[in-house]
Amino acid sequence: MVQIAPSILSADFAQLGAEVVALEKAGADLIHIDVMDGHFVPNLTFGAPVIRDIRSYTTLPFDVHLMMTNPIRYIPDFIRAGADMITVHLEANDDIETLISLVKKEGKKVGLSIRPSTSVSRLLPYLPMIDMVLVMSVEPGFGGQSFIPNSLEKIVQLKDLIGRKKVQISVDGGINDITAPACKLAGADILVAGSYIFKHPPYATQIDKLKRA
């Protein structure tokens, strides 16, 4: 069954601790945390102190998605704050192999994310080194966008490139009860959902719909 990773970008920021507790009770498999620097994308969100503060509210894994131009200087802070996986963008300015090595050295999982305009073939050299690929099915930076249809073709291509490697495919953006089945059929292992879960409670019902899609 596909795993569901609620994105707390769509949560009530004034109640993040309670929101994380509710998500675990509702059947979420992991928590997706979008960190934006206002440069790589035109928005600002969380810093490491926020992640540290909500870490004690759940035992669910935290996938910290760094939408940052130069993530290397911040990775140690997010790991100390409680990240279980660090996902960086292939399009970041820092050397990708150095980023991967830094996260692995700390004993954490590492993911690589690609924008909608980035070819999956660019991931090929890094697939033996990573644990997950995050396919952005919307332009990164804001929640509530519509799913970009050609993302499905990218998932299929990626599944073929991965082959027998133990690399999961996560999809982020525009996930709902219509797009989820198509993503799962294409080969997705994890679905990141924000608005679909948080804007239409109860959370358990929405998460269950996505899992059974």
All structural domains of the chain, each given as residue ranges with its CATH number in brackets, are 3-211 (3.20.20.70)
Q: In whole angstroms, what is the distance from residue 48 CA to residue 90 CA? A: 21
Looking at every residue in the chain, the average pLDDT score rounds to 96
Closest among 14, 35, 11 to 199, alpha carbons compared: 11
Closest among 200, 158, 164, 211 to 5, alpha carbons compared: 211
Which residue's structure tokens are 């675990």?
Answer: 24
Low-confidence ranges of the chain (pLDDT < 50): none
Q: In whole angstroms, what is the distance from residue 138 CA to residue 64 CA? A: 18
Q: Are 110 and 126 in contact (CB under 8 A)?
A: no
Catalytic residue among 29, 34, 63, 131: 34
Six-digit token string for 39 = 């440069």
What's the predicted TM-score (pTM) here?
0.96
Question: Is residue 172 annotated as a catalytic residue, yes or no?
Answer: yes
Q: In whole angstroms, what is the distance from residue 180 CA to residue 2 CA? A: 9
Q: What are residue 88's DSSP bridge partners?
A: 66, 112
Instruction: Name 56's Cβ contacts closer than 8 Å, sequence gap at least 6.
Output: none
Six-digit token string for 57 = 């509210």
Catalytic residue among 63, 131, 172, 189: 172
Say whether 133 sits in a helix, a strand or coil.
strand
pLDDT of residue 92: 96
Kindly report, residue by residue over 88-139, the tens digit of the pLDDT.
999 999 999 999 999 999 999 999 999 999 999 999 999 999 999 999 999 9
**Is the peptide bond prior to 202 cis by the omega test (within 30 degrees of 0)?**
yes
pLDDT of residue 85: 98
pLDDT of residue 201: 95
pLDDT of residue 100: 98
Question: Is residue 37 annotated as a catalytic residue, yes or no?
Answer: no
